């Protein structure tokens, strides 16, 4: 990889943009690697968690947003909990995911995850919470290859009342949609 | 009456007793060695009860000689001798036999170790039987000190010594004191202005009644020894009379040679041929640069004395001092002699030259500058009055790349060490730059960020987090010019990527190196220096301000790269050492010195006057003495040892062809007794 830095493409703008959108001070990371050391899914990642922050720090926009790592992060928050500089790494991944989607840079290898991510958020947007059946429905429409995946557990879950066919809306649905509106990049 | 010798064998915990049967050693000594009237063992001889045992037994048994079998005499000889002195025994009747470093630590077999210890103790017992009582030598002390170098180290040392009421001679080779600190813009980690904190101290030096200041002067030679050094100082021809000159500035205003690169401005600014290095210079009186002055150039060309040259003379004409002008073209170097009791060496460092790295342009690119050059750019009194303008075209640089470890940690370029200050000053540079160019971008290439010091880590993080400097982990491979930009090819190992930056200016954090004349100075002072030509301290931990030559102390970066706080601390340390040394009227020296024998007439001395000893003596301690008859005629010329200079190395004794020289405490009788006592079988 080669990173070019010049005045016309101000590299530090990416870091500033991420900092502005996330409220996370990316510059404060001093690359000790503790996040990577404790990450349970790092073995699958193309860039280690600390490298993702590094890419943001030095303005490697494309590398950061097209990485698989941001989609593989399971948001277990182990990294953020343990970070000595209190950088919220898992939260940063969220912001990077959003930016990747907006810019159509999401890694094609992780289409399942992106589809799941979108279905999940759409469900929350619509009902203020997850409606498992409708969310799965949307997800499986988006990724037909997964249609039969996990289908065998459905009867059991229905039997235990874990899958309800009618979506439940929460009380503050309006508030949720206002949050979504506010979060939309200008 | 024979001697009554006591043998004390130390267990040293298990350090000795694990490999040596100490009881057996003591037993053998008492049974078999002639002269031994008492022998015992003890767990720790150096402990308080151990020393008490020694004292008690000397008194109870009436011992007239002592052998302590323990660790190296380097470690505790003084301890045991001091203990013996309290009982009235002469300290030179106490010998230490080393059965630890040279026996128990290096052997495994206990039987053999014990046997060897028995031999070692026997040797020392034989020597002890021949020991003579010696009295320490007293030398008078000159209560004045010399400080070489007028940077912050020399200034601090001089002030601290002078405040203690001791007269100080401060010698500075440049026209003004102040050193590198005067060149700095602001100082880490507090960002206070360097000159603002330095100049009051410089003024204090100039006004201190106990400090005699020699600027534009160098050390010519140093003779003598601790407490009594004879120093010759070369006062280089200044061409300006310091007593008459008032520093009115008329002369350097009229000087027509205005385009001479200023050393003080690191070649970024110009000065005149008659000049003061910077406005706050102490003394604030000029010097004529004879290489560039038109008059001196003319005199050299014509081969006439400068005073006879008629060229220019503007400074002389304008000088308002009457009737005798302060400017004197006929000034010549002058040698002054001073006597001092102690010396502080504070000769400082130099910045690595810019032209060492071909890949960084070999000093050809005007906009690739060094750390000290950046200091001058950022300094309010510098050539740009504190505005960050790049040297080539005076434009304000929008992207500046700082490269750390230029020279440092680069064995291929001859500096394997870390210069220690660059991480901090680069962080400072990025801040100064961002404070002055708000929209600018600062990039730093580093290998490690080493900020060990009070508030240092916080300072460097501030540069990154608050001031927004981008740190990239890797060295720069190459810099080349493209249009008016400098392309910097580097790496960021944290992402594993190559980095290419289009920069407007590059600042190299150049290494701190020993002065060019460091070896020369070391030779004049007979002090040791290391592979990088920094002066060596006597012990890296416990004697960090003492040089290898007694009475000469070290302060500041001449001993190794150092920042200002450390330099000041070391200078104060050296000053306190000087004060302790000069606090007594006489110095006591070990009487282990050489002596040339003197006999009754008609022989007078067995010395045949070949003076081979004089040639081999590394300390210049051998003198020639004429033995005269009553009528004043010289009967014979023989060697004599100056006990003040003699360090007891024994070279003269070994060289002497007529066996006339003897080393006290290690004479032939003693040494042969030692050797003969070992049974060869």
| pLDDT tens profile B652-677 | 999 999 999 999 999 999 999 999 98
Query: How far, CA to CA in Å, does B509 sit from each of B166, B283, B371, B384, B591?
Result: 39, 31, 5, 20, 51
Domain total of chain B: 4
Residue B621: inside a domain, yes or no? Answer: yes
Q: What is the mean pLDDT of chain B?
A: 93
pTM of the model: 0.82
Q: What is the mean pLDDT of residues B464-476?
A: 92
Residue B225 pLDDT grade (very low, low, confident, very high; cuts 50, 70, 90): confident
| DSSP secondary structure of A101-141 | HHTT---GGGHHHHHHHHHHHHHHHHHSS--HHHHHHHHHH
DSSP-derived pairing of the beta strands B399-406 and B505-510: parallel
CA distance A74 to A68: 12
Residues 6+ apart with CB under 8 A from B230: B222, B223, B224, B337, B338, B339
* Domain termination site, one of B111, B136, B161: B136
CA distance B382 to B269: 8
According to the model, what pLDDT value does residue B94 have? 95
The alpha carbon of residue B216 is apart from the nearest alpha carbon of chain A, in Å, by 48
In angstroms, how far is CA B601 from the centroid of its own chain?
48
A75 close to A69: Cβ distance less than 8 angstroms: no
> The domain that contains B386 carries what CATH number?
3.50.50.60
**Residue from B319, B401, B318 nearest B360 by CA:** B401
According to the model, what pLDDT value does residue A8 have? 66
Pair B127, B62 in one domain: yes
Pair B369, B501 in one domain: yes
Running DSSP on this structure, what letter comes out for residue B146? E
CA distance B96 to B135: 19
Whether a cis peptide bond, with omega within 30° of 0, leads into B602 is yes
Whether a cis peptide bond, with omega within 30° of 0, leads into B590 is no
Pair B264, B400 in one domain: no
Which residue on chain A is closest to B495 by alpha carbon?
Answer: A51
CA distance B96 to B98: 6
Percent of chain B exceeding pLDDT 70 equals: 99
Q: What is the mean pLDDT of residues B82-91?
A: 93
| Contact check, Cβ <8 Å, A57/B470 | yes
pLDDT (tens digit, 9 = 90+) per residue, B480-519? 999 999 999 999 998 888 899 999 999 999 999 999 999 9
Residue B236: inside a domain, yes or no? Answer: no
| Contact check, Cβ <8 Å, B465/A51 | no
> The domain that contains B10 carries what CATH number?
3.40.50
Own/partner pairs, A92-98, CB within 8 angstroms, 24+ separation:
A92/A18, A92/A22, A92/A24, A92/A26, A92/A52, A92/A53, A92/A56, A93/A52, A93/A69, A94/A22, A95/A18, A95/A21, A95/A22, A95/A24, A96/A18, A96/A52, A96/A56, A96/A64, A96/A65, A96/A70, A97/A70, A97/A71, A98/A21, A98/A185
Strand-pair partners of A184: none
Strand-pair partners of B260: B271
pLDDT (tens digit, 9 = 90+) per residue, A32-55? 999 999 999 999 999 999 999 999
Q: What is the mean pLDDT of residues B360-384?
A: 93
Name the H helices within B36-193: 48-61, 73-85, 110-130, 152-163
* Domain termination site, one of B136, B152, B175: B136
**Residue from B151, B144, B148 nearest B219 by CA:** B148
CA distance A59 to B611: 77
DSSP run (H or E) holding B461: helix B456-465
CA distance B643 to B358: 55
DSSP-derived pairing of the beta strands B186-187 and B192-193: antiparallel
Residues 6+ apart with CB under 8 A from B621: B594, B641, B642, B643, B644, B645, B646, B647
Secondary structure (H, E, C), B284-313:
CCCEECCCCCHHHHHHHHHCCCHHHCCCCC
Q: How many residues does chain B have?
A: 681
Residue B260: inside a domain, yes or no? Answer: yes
| Contact check, Cβ <8 Å, B495/A50 | no
A37 close to A93: Cβ distance less than 8 angstroms: no
| Contact check, Cβ <8 Å, B502/A6 | yes
| Contact check, Cβ <8 Å, A3/B461 | no
B293 close to B257: Cβ distance less than 8 angstroms: yes
DSSP run (H or E) holding A53: helix A49-57
| Contact check, Cβ <8 Å, B494/A51 | yes
B160 close to B205: Cβ distance less than 8 angstroms: no
Please list every residue in chain A whose beta carbon sits closer than 8 Å to the beta carbon of residue B499: 2-5, 58
The alpha carbon of residue A20 is apart from the nearest alpha carbon of chain B, in Å, by 14
What's the CA angle centered on B626, arms B620 and B629, to 5 degrees?
A: 165
B193 close to B379: Cβ distance less than 8 angstroms: no
Pair B288, B377 in one domain: no
* Domain termination site, one of B136, B153, B185: B136
DSSP run (H or E) holding B98: strand B94-98
Between chain A and chain B, the number of residue pairs with CB atoms below 8 A apart is: 63
Pair B364, B500 in one domain: yes
Query: Of B22-26, B318-322, B422-426, B461-465, which range is least confident?
Result: B318-322
Pair B308, B427 in one domain: no
pLDDT (tens digit, 9 = 90+) per residue, B388-413? 999 999 999 999 999 999 999 998 88
CA distance B316 to B286: 13
CA distance B169 to B162: 9
B249 touches chain A (CB under 8 A): no
The alpha carbon of residue A26 is apart from the nearest alpha carbon of chain B, in Å, by 9
Residue B222: inside a domain, yes or no? Answer: no
Pair B277, B362 in one domain: no
pLDDT (tens digit, 9 = 90+) per residue, B169-180? 999 999 999 999
- The answer for B 614-643 residues in CB contact with A (under 8 A) is none
pLDDT (tens digit, 9 = 90+) per residue, B200-217? 999 999 999 999 999 999
B443 touches chain A (CB under 8 A): yes
Judged against a pLDDT cut of 80, whether residue A12 lies above it is answered with no
CA distance B421 to B451: 8
Judged against a pLDDT cut of 80, whether residue B98 lies above it is answered with yes
The alpha carbon of residue B371 is apart from the nearest alpha carbon of chain A, in Å, by 23
**Residue from A106, A120, A94, A119 nearest A68 by CA:** A106
Q: What is the mean pLDDT of residues A101-108?
A: 91
In angstroms, how far is CA B671 from the centroid of its own chain?
36
B427 close to B463: Cβ distance less than 8 angstroms: yes
Pair B255, B381 in one domain: no
B218 close to B171: Cβ distance less than 8 angstroms: yes
Pair B273, B412 in one domain: no
DSSP run (H or E) holding B444: strand B441-446
Strand-pair partners of B218: B234
Residue B148: inside a domain, yes or no? Answer: no
Interface of A with B (CB under 8 A): 1-7, 10-12, 25, 27-28, 30-31, 47, 50-51, 54-55, 57-58, 60, 63
B131 close to B108: Cβ distance less than 8 angstroms: no
| Contact check, Cβ <8 Å, A55/B468 | no
Own/partner pairs, B478-483, CB within 8 angstroms, 24+ separation:
B478/B359, B478/B360, B479/B359, B479/B360, B479/B361, B479/B365, B479/B368, B479/B506, B480/B361, B481/B361, B481/B365
B573 close to B545: Cβ distance less than 8 angstroms: yes
Q: What is the mean pLDDT of residues B604-627?
A: 90
According to the model, what pLDDT value does residue A150 have? 84
Residue B169: inside a domain, yes or no? Answer: no
Residues 6+ apart with CB under 8 A from B465: A25, A27, A28
According to the model, what pLDDT value does residue B680 have? 58
| DSSP secondary structure of B65-97 | EEEEEES-HHHHHHHHHHHHHTTT--GGGEEEE
Please list every residue in chain B whose beta carbon sits closer than 8 Å to the beta carbon of residue A5: 399, 443, 499-502
Judged against a pLDDT cut of 60, whether residue B1 lies above it is answered with no
B355 close to B370: Cβ distance less than 8 angstroms: no
Domain span holding position B640: 594-663
Which residue on chain B is closest to A30 by alpha carbon?
Answer: B461
Which residue on chain A is closest to B469 by alpha carbon?
Answer: A27
B175 close to B213: Cβ distance less than 8 angstroms: no
Of the candidates A3, A7, A63, which has its C-beta nearest B499's C-beta? A3
The alpha carbon of residue B401 is apart from the nearest alpha carbon of chain A, in Å, by 11
According to the model, what pLDDT value does residue B657 have? 93
pLDDT (tens digit, 9 = 90+) per residue, B523-579? 999 899 999 999 999 888 889 999 988 899 999 999 999 999 999 999 999 999 999
According to the model, what pLDDT value does residue A185 have? 63
B496 touches chain A (CB under 8 A): yes
A28 close to A85: Cβ distance less than 8 angstroms: yes
| Contact check, Cβ <8 Å, A11/B399 | no
Residue B560: inside a domain, yes or no? Answer: no
**Residue from B167, B142, B150 nearest B223 by CA:** B142
Pair B375, B442 in one domain: yes
Q: What is the mean pLDDT of residues B37-58?
A: 94
Pair B294, B356 in one domain: no
| Contact check, Cβ <8 Å, A58/B495 | yes
Pair B18, B92 in one domain: yes
Please list every residue in chain B whose beta carbon sits closer than 8 Å to the beta carbon of residue A6: 399, 501-502
CA distance A108 to B282: 71
B116 close to B28: Cβ distance less than 8 angstroms: no
According to the model, what pLDDT value does residue B253 have? 94
Q: How many residues does chain A have?
A: 186
Residue A13 pLDDT grade (very low, low, confident, very high; cuts 50, 70, 90): confident
Residue B123: inside a domain, yes or no? Answer: yes
What's the CA angle centered on B658, arms B656 and B662, to 5 degrees?
A: 55
According to the model, what pLDDT value does residue B681 have? 40
Running DSSP on this structure, what letter comes out for residue B511? P
CA distance B648 to B642: 11
What's the CA angle centered on B216, arms B213 and B222, to 5 degrees?
A: 75
B4 close to B65: Cβ distance less than 8 angstroms: yes
CA distance B30 to B15: 23
């Amino acid at each position: 990889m080669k990173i070019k830095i010049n005045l016309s493409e101000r590299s530090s703008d990416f870091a500033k943009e991420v900092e502005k959108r996330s409220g996370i001070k990316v510059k404060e990371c001093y690359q000790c690697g503790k996040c990577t050391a404790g990450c349970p899914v790092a073995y699958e990642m193309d860039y280690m968690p600390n490298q993702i922050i590094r890419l943001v720090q030095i303005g490697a926009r494309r590398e950061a947003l097209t990485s698989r790592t941001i989609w593989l992060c399971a948001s277990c928050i182990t990294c953020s909990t343990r970070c000595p500089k209190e950088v919220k790494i898992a939260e940063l991944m969220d912001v990077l995911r959003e930016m990747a989607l907006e810019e159509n840079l999401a890694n094609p290898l992780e289409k399942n995850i992106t589809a799941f991510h979108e279905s999940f958020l759409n469900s929350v947007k619509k009902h203020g919470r997850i409606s498992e059946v409708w969310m799965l429905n949307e997800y499986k429409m988006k990724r037909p290859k997964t249609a039969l995946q996990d289908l065998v557990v459905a009867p059991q879950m229905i039997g235990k009342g874990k899958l309800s066919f009618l979506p439940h809306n929460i009380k503050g649905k309006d508030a949720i949609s206002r949050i979504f509106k506010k979060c939309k990049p200008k | 009456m024979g001697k009554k010798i006591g043998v004390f064998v130390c267990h040293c915990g298990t350090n000795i007793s694990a490999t040596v049967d100490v009881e057996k050693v003591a037993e053998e000594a008492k049974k078999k060695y002639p002269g031994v009237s008492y022998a015992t063992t003890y767990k720790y001889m150096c402990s308080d009860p151990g020393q008490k045992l020694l004292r008690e037994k000397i008194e109870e048994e009436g011992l007239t000689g002592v052998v302590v079998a323990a660790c190296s005499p380097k470690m505790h000889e003084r301890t045991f001798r001091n203990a013996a002195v309290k009982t009235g025994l002469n300290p030179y009747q106490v010998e230490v036999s080393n059965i630890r470093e040279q026996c128990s630590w290096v052997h495994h077999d206990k039987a053999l170790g014990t046997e060897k210890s028995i031999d070692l103790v026997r040797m020392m017992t034989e020597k002890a039987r021949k020991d003579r009582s010696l009295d320490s030598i007293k030398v008078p002390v000159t209560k004045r000190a010399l400080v070489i170098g007028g940077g912050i180290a020399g200034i601090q040392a001089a002030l601290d010594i002078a405040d203690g009421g001791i007269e100080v001679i401060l010698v500075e080779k440049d026209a003004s004191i102040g050193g590198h600190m005067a060149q700095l813009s602001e100082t880490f980690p507090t960002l206070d202005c360097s000159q603002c904190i330095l100049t009051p101290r410089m003024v204090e030096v100039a006004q201190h009644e106990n400090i005699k200041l020699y600027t534009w002067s160098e050390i010519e030679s140093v003779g003598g020894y601790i407490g009594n050094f004879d120093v010759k100082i070369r006062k280089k021809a200044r061409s300006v009379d310091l007593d008459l000159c008032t520093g009115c500035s008329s002369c350097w205003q009229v000087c027509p040679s205005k385009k001479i690169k200023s050393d003080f401005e690191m070649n970024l600014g110009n000065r005149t041929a008659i000049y003061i290095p910077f406005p706050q210079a102490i003394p604030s009186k000029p010097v004529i640069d004879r290489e560039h002055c038109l008059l001196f150039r003319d005199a050299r060309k014509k081969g006439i004395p400068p005073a006879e040259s008629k060229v220019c003379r503007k400074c002389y004409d304008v000088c308002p001092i009457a009737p005798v002008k302060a400017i004197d073209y006929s000034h010549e170097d002058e040698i002054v002699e001073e006597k001092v009791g102690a010396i502080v060496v504070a000769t400082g460092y130099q910045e690595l030259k810019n032209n060492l790295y071909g890949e960084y342009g070999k000093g050809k690119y005007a906009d690739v500058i060094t750390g000290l050059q950046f200091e001058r750019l950022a300094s309010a009194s510098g050539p740009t009055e504190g505005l960050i303008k790049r040297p080539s075209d005076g434009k304000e640089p929008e992207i500046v790349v700082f490269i750390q470890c230029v020279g440092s940690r680069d064995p291929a370029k001859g500096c394997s060490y870390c210069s220690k200050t660059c991480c901090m000053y680069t962080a400072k540079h990025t801040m100064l730059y961002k404070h002055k160019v708000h929209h600018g971008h600062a990039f730093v290439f580093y290998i490690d960020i080493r900020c060990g010091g009070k508030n240092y880590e916080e300072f460097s993080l501030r540069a990154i987090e608050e001031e927004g400097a981008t740190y990239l982990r890797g060295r720069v491979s190459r810099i080349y010019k493209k249009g008016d930009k400098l392309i910097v090819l580097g790496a960021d190992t944290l992402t594993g990527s190559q980095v290419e930056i289009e920069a407007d200016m590059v600042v190299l954090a150049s290494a701190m190196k020993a002065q060019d004349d460091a070896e020369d100075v070391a030779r004049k002072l007979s002090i040791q220096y290391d592979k990088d030509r920094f002066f060596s301290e006597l012990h890296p931990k416990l004697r960090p301000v003492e040089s290898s030559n007694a009475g000469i102390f070290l302060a500041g970066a001449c001993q190794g790269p150092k920042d200002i706080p450390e330099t000041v601390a070391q200078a104060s340390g050296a000053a306190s050492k000087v004060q302790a040394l000069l606090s007594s009227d006489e110095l006591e020296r070990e009487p282990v010195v050489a002596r040339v024998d003197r006999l009754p007439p008609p022989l007078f001395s067995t010395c045949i006057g070949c003076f081979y000893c004089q040639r081999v003596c590394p300390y210049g301690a051998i003198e020639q003495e004429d033995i005269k008859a009553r009528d004043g005629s010289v009967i014979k010329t023989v060697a004599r040892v100056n006990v003040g200079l003699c360090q007891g190395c024994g070279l003269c004794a070994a060289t002497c062809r007529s066996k006339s020289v003897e080393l006290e405490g290690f004479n032939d009788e003693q040494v042969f007794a030692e050797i003969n006592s070992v049974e060869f079988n």
